[in-house]
Amino acid sequence: MEGADEFTVGTRFHRALDDGRIECTVCPRACRLRDGQRGLCFVRARHGDQVVLTSYNRSSGFCVDPVEKKPLNHFLPGTPVLSFGTAGCNLACRFCQNWDISKSREIDTLSSQADAVTLAATAKRLGCKSIAFTYNDPTVFLEYAIDCADAAREAGLRAVAVSAGYINAPARRELYSHMDAANIDLKAFTEHFYEKTAFASLRTVLDTLEYLVHETDVWTEITTLLIPGHNDSDAEIAAECAWIAEHLGPEVPLHFTAFHPDFKMRDVPATPPSTLRRARRIALDAGLRFVYTGNVHDPNGQTTTCTGCGEALIVRDWYRIDRYAVSDSGQCVRCGARVPGVFAGPAGDWGPRRQPIRIAAPSVSQR
């Protein structure tokens, strides 16, 4: 592309406006740009007569994690996943736990490089079963995420999107047609919270969840970070769980995770474990069958239980699996009841390890 560097690629989610600006249409933010301007996400910008992605083949770092860290408890349990993100985000959450990446306005943050084929080959060599687009939202680096997902599938691996779900329908269809699993961050269950604290819209996220669960084969789990005094009331938790049960079904796993003071909400205390246990009880009482707690030590809240006979099927301690009683085909070994999710043989034994890795610089010809 004339005038652009090797990490810049064209996109197709944009439209020309009558006033000469170009509107990015990848998400409801609808940034309207003049030549040289960047969107709120920072990594999508106008270049000439189109919107381009400026972080293609660049990452803020790569790491091999347990897949449960995404968190995904019903997707290839115990297996390693190659995780990476880029920079920027299309939300502006005041409580962001990865703000140094998602809120970065410095391209120097993107110190690691890898083209899609190299990334997939590395994941395969390291024994990973999947790759995950995480740390910041794959919505903003959609083109890079799609190419990496396709390369992963060619290598026999799965692709995972960890996202806030704030994306327009056409881009959503394109992105998730290349994904095998997703964890969607449902940040709260009021429009007021989304508008004032995340600067986004709850309705869009709910649309994404309904789309994934009812119109795709993408395995979907949900995470809600509970922030004391902001989204942790009994009434709000009950409303969220009732909506999930009615609109998505009781078998969609829900994770309640603990907030720690960060970014622009350092004055808010960390979430006590009792709040997570209370939320889990509300969710179970609402009829949800697979509800988990995260970022705390809580074996009971991290155990997968058979809905048929009550057997403890997958007993976890943080990211370590201590017991696994699911057949290779995804059934309870005691009563044969189906366990919803994606299972491919016995559980992996990666455990809680976290392994940062370096990947060789990309070959421009692969782009």
Q: Which residues are annotated as a binding site for [4Fe-4S] cluster?
A: 89, 93, 96
Task: Quickly count: other Cβ atoms within 10 Å of residue 301's Cβ.
Answer: 20
Helix (H) or strand (E) run with residue 15 in it: strand 14-16
- Residue 248 CA: distances (Å) to CA of 80, 200, 244, 251, 315: 28, 22, 5, 8, 25
**Burial class of residue 110 in the structure, from the number of CB atoms within 10 Å of its CB (0-12 exposed, 13-18 middle, 19+ buried):** buried
CB distance 152 to 166 below 8 Å: no
Query: b/e map of 305-340 (b: 16 or more CB within 10 Å)?
Result: bbbeeebebbbbebbbbeebbbeeeebbeeeeeebb
Provide the CB-side half-sphere exposure for 326 (13 A, CA).
34
**185: which strand partners?**
223
DSSP SS3 for 44 = strand
CB distance 13 to 25 below 8 Å: yes
Q: Phi and psi dihedrals of 54, rounded to 5? A: -100, 5
Which residues make up each annotated binding site?
89, 93, 96
Amino acid at 214: H
Q: Where are the alpha helices (DSSP H) in 159-290?
A: 169-176, 191-193, 202-215, 234-247, 273-285
Q: Is the peptide bond before 346 cis (omega within 30 degrees of 0)?
A: no
DSSP SS3 for 343 = coil
- Residue 333 CA: distances (Å) to CA of 102, 125, 146, 302: 42, 32, 37, 19
